[in-house]
């Protein structure tokens, strides 16, 4: 209605800028009440752009009629600054509100995880993802509105005097810098000291050119003002890269915080599991946290290397590993409850039996006391019957000292048995040992019972493994060649060969030529045979000659040992077989073969590793895989987070 009754072009232009202020107020209300996804936001944005576009069109038309519109253009431009600032503030307020919601959801999510409420955790995760999406959408819409309005504003600014254009450009550049500084502080992004060096240099030149224009003659003024405006525009343009850097650093900071939080949550979760076990009186095995500790150590290593996404994923996997421990605690707790119930039942049964046992003991005592009082001796069969009854009472849990008291009393009533050479059935602790008059026979050699189930105890992984040395192109004895897919093939790795895909039951190493191959465990060499077509040997060693457990060493040459020799862990068996002119190869396999039960399988070497050395060698294998991924610039080769132990994709492979 106001627009209909306004006829003066300048007044109409001013009215359009006033409408801009109203539309900005609408945007603020929509953001506060309905959020960034509200349909009304697009409508308000379109009207906002139209009002400013209409004001610019009026100015351009008036200039086309030959009128001086520079003063009007400056007035309109200055008036637009207030709604422009209000618009920016509206988006800032909404961004802070979303950040506050995000922080609150993170707190609730942490509480849900600690409580083990998986359903609530899933709901909160979805809500958190929605908030993050809204933050990104808010930033996109803010930039779009500002860019569209800037186009219309530039049309108005072009009609200002050169001096005013320059002053405006310098002021806007300074405001843009301050906005970036505030944004960096709000996001917690630390900017480098010299990050604004280029901007400051260009803006200084702009101010110098403006000052020169104010001091120059009429003919030179215009050129100086144009130069000042151009320098200011270049200065403002230089801020684009800084803004991009702030966004990147903000995302990186957010990922860093998420990774740090994930690691912290995993550590706290472990403490809760330990507290739960302690509270329930459950004693966990020493290996309970092996997988968790390995995953968390890898997460922390990636965090130090600033691979925050990888660190976060491994920390989450570590936390999931605790679920298995939780289940184990519950299982042990149930078993403990069953055991407690059995003990209670046994005690209850004992309590019920106790009166009967007391009566039986009392009857036997009365019987012996009666015989003693009457001076009657016991017959031999009577004596043995009493001893049998006393033995039964003892097996039923009756106190031994009371039983011994009646045994002595019974023995006193059979003095004729004390002189017999033949031992009588009585408590052996009551009989004095008699010197032997028989000729002592020589001791026979003891017969050893076969130990079929004796396991090997591994103390190394047969070759030297060290961190990768770039200058040597190797990791200990492991050679790194760019043409190889793998320098180390894991247990359970699926590979393609001439006969199709197969699952590796070994640790396979590509080594430097003639690398020393060591015995991984103590044992007896049961077989040494030549590998057909390879000109190297396969060695079979078992903990003892009867054991079903075997340690196989494949592709070994220069073997000086033979079948029947006993070896100790760390002893040299030979050198690695030939793979190529520049590399060797060798393999380690731990196998169980029970021909009686027809049961055969291979296991991960770490399943039978010396506990005092296991952690050291697990770290060596983990580092070897990480070094190879770095060498190949591919972090997805091994997927360590899925390994049972480092280098073991499975724990057991049936044959």
| DSSP state letters, 225-279 | HHHHHHHHHHHHHHHHHHHHHHHHHHHHHHHHHHHHHHHHHHHHHHHHHHHHHHH
Kind and range of the H or E element at 652? strand 652-654
pLDDT at 623: 94
Q: Which pLDDT score is estimated for 65?
A: 82
Does residue 245 carry a pLDDT above 80? yes
DSSP, collapsed to helix, strand or coil, labels residue 497 as strand
Mean pLDDT value of segment 198-207: 92
Mean pLDDT of 528-535: 84
Quote the tokens at residue 568: 């100790």
465-654 folds as Glucose Permease (Domain IIA) (2.70.70)
* Cα gap 392→415, rounded to integer Å: 24
Give the residue among 507, 485, 503, 481 at the shortest CA–CA distance from 494: 503
pLDDT at 347: 55
* pLDDT score at 106: 84
pLDDT at 444: 36
Q: Is the pLDDT of residue 182 over 60?
A: yes
What one-character DSSP code corresponds to residue 455? P
Q: Does 273 have pLDDT greater than 60?
A: yes
The larger pLDDT score, comparing residue 264 to residue 347, is at 264
What is the share, in percent, of the chain residues with pLDDT greater than 90?
27
More confident residue, 458 or 596: 458
Of 21, 7, 130, residue with least CA distance to 85 = 21
What's the rounded mean pLDDT across residues 527-556?
90
What is the Cα Rg of the chain in Å?
44
**Confidence at residue 377, expressed as pLDDT on a 0 to 100 scale:** 76
> Is the model more confident about 391 or about 305?
305
CB 523 within 8 A of CB 544: yes
Pick the closest to residue 650 from 605, 596, 595 (CA basis). 605
Q: Distance between CA 288 and CA 389 in Å, rounded?
A: 49
Q: pLDDT by residue (tens digit) across 212-235?
A: 888 876 667 778 888 888 998 899
Share of residues in the chain with pLDDT > 70 (%)? 88
Q: Is 395 helix (H, G, I), strand (E, B) or coil?
A: helix
Q: Is the pLDDT of residue 437 over 50?
A: no
The pLDDT score that the predictor gives to residue 457 is: 95
Tokens of 16: 């359009």
pLDDT in the model for residue 614: 92
Mean pLDDT of the chain: 83
Please tell me what DSSP assigns to residue 196: T
Quick one: which H or E segment has residue 531?
strand 523-531
* Mean local confidence (pLDDT), 19-27: 88
- Average pLDDT, stretch 567-584? 93
The overall pTM is greater than 0.85: no
Nearest-angstrom CA–CA distance, 322 and 641: 14
pLDDT band, very low/low/confident/very high, at 497 (cuts 50, 70, 90): low
**What is the reported pLDDT for 5?**
47
User: What 8-state DSSP symbol labels residue 221?
Assistant: H
Say what the pLDDT of residue 473 is: 92
Residue 418 CA, distance from chain mean position: 76
Secondary structure class of 281 (helix, strand, coil): coil
In DSSP notation, 97-151 reads HHHHHHHHHHHHHHHHHHHT-HHHHHHHHHHHHHHHHHHHHHHHHHHHHHHHHHH
Lowest mean pLDDT among 74-78, 216-220, 444-448, 545-549: 444-448
On the question of pLDDT at 440 being above 60, the answer is no
Closest by Cα among 243, 165, 175, 239 to 202: 239
- The average pLDDT across 557-562 equals 93
Pairing of strands 507-511, 584-594: antiparallel
**CA 52, CA 19: separation in Å to the nearest integer?**
9
Tell me the three state secondary structure of residue 190: coil
Contact 478, 463 (CB under 8 A): yes
pLDDT on residue 609: 95
State the number of CA atoms in the 13 A half-sphere of 333 facing the CB.
13
Local confidence band at 443 (pLDDT 50, 70, 90 cut-offs): very low
Residues 6+ apart with CB under 8 A from 3: 12, 15
Range with top average pLDDT, 144-158, 407-421, 506-520, 591-605: 506-520
pLDDT at residue 60 tops 60: yes
DSSP code at position 470 = T
More confident residue, 225 or 620: 620
* Tokens 């009493």 sit on residue: 386
Which of 125-139, 157-171, 355-369, 477-491 shows the highest mean pLDDT? 477-491
Q: pLDDT class for 203, splitting at 50, 70, 90?
A: very high
Range with lowest mean pLDDT among 201-210, 270-279, 482-491: 270-279
């Amino acid at each position: 209605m106001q627009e209909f009754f306004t006829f003066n072009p300048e007044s109409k232009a001013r009215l359009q800028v006033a409408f801009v202020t109203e539309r900005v107020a609408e945007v603020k209300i929509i953001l506060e009440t309905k959020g960034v996804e509200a349909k009304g936001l697009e409508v308000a944005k379109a009207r906002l752009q139209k009002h400013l576009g209409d004001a610019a069109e009026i100015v351009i038309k008036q200039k086309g009629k030959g009128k001086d519109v520079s003063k009007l253009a400056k007035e309109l431009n200055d008036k637009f600054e207030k709604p422009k600032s209000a618009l920016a503030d509206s988006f800032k307020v909404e961004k802070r509100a979303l950040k506050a919601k995000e922080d609150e959801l993170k707190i609730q999510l942490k509480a849900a995880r600690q409580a083990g409420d998986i359903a609530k955790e899933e709901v909160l995760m979805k809500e958190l993802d929605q908030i993050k999406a809204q933050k990104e959408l808010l930033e996109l819409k803010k930039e779009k509105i500002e860019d569209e309005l800037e186009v219309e504003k530039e049309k108005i600014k072009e009609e200002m005097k050169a001096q005013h254009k320059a002053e405006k450009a310098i002021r806007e550049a300074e405001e843009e810098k301050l906005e970036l500084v505030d944004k960096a502080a709000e996001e917690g992004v630390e900017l480098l000291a010299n990050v604004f060096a280029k901007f400051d240099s260009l803006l200084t030149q702009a101010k110098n050119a403006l000052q020169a224009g104010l001091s120059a003659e009429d003919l030179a003024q215009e050129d100086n003002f144009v130069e000042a405006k151009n320098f200011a525009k270049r200065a403002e343009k230089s801020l684009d890269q800084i803004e991009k850097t702030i966004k990147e650093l903000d995302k990186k900071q957010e990922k860093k915080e998420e990774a740090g939080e994930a690691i912290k949550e995993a550590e706290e979760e472990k403490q809760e599991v330990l507290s739960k076990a302690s509270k329930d009186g459950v004693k966990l095995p020493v290996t309970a946290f092996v997988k968790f500790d390995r995953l968390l150590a890898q997460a922390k290593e990636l965090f130090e290397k600033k691979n925050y996404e990888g660190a976060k994923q491994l920390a989450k996997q570590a936390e999931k590993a605790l679920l298995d421990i939780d289940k184990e605690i519950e299982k042990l707790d149930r078993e403990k409850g069953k055991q407690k119930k059995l003990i209670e039942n046994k005690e209850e049964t004992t309590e019920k039996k106790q009166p009967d046992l007391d009566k039986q003991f009392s009857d036997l005592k009365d019987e012996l006391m009666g015989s003693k009082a009457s001076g009657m001796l016991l017959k031999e069969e009577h004596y043995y019957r009493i001893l049998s009854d006393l033995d039964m009472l003892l097996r039923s849990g009756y106190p031994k000292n009371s039983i011994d008291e009646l045994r002595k009393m019974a023995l006193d009533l059979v003095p004729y048995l004390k002189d017999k050479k033949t031992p009588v059935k009585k408590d052996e602790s009551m009989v004095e040992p008699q010197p032997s008059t028989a000729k002592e026979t020589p001791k026979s050699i003891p017969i050893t019972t076969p130990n079929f189930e004796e396991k090997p105890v591994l103390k190394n992984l047969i070759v030297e493994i060290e961190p990768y040395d770039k200058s040597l192109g190797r990791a200990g004895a492991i050679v790194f060649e760019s043409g190889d897919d793998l320098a180390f093939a894991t247990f359970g790795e699926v590979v393609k060969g001439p006969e199709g895909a197969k699952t590796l039951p070994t640790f396979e190493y590509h080594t430097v030529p003639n690398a020393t191959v060591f015995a991984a465990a103590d044992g007896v060499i049961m077989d040494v045979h030549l590998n057909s077509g390879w000109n190297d040997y396969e060695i079979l060693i078992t903990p003892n000659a009867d054991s079903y457990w075997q340690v196989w060493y494949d592709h070994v040459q220069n073997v000086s040992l033979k079948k029947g020799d006993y070896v100790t862990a760390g002893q040299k068996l030979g050198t690695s077989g030939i793979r190529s002119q520049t590399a060797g190869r060798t393999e380690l396999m731990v196998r169980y073969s029970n021909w009686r039960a027809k049961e055969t399988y291979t296991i991960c070497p770490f399943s039978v590793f010396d506990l005092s050395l296991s952690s050291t060698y697990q770290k060596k294998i983990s580092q070897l895989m990480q070094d190879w991924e770095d060498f190949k610039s591919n972090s997805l080769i091994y997927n360590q987070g899925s390994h049972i132990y480092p280098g073991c994709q499975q724990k057991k492979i049936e044959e």
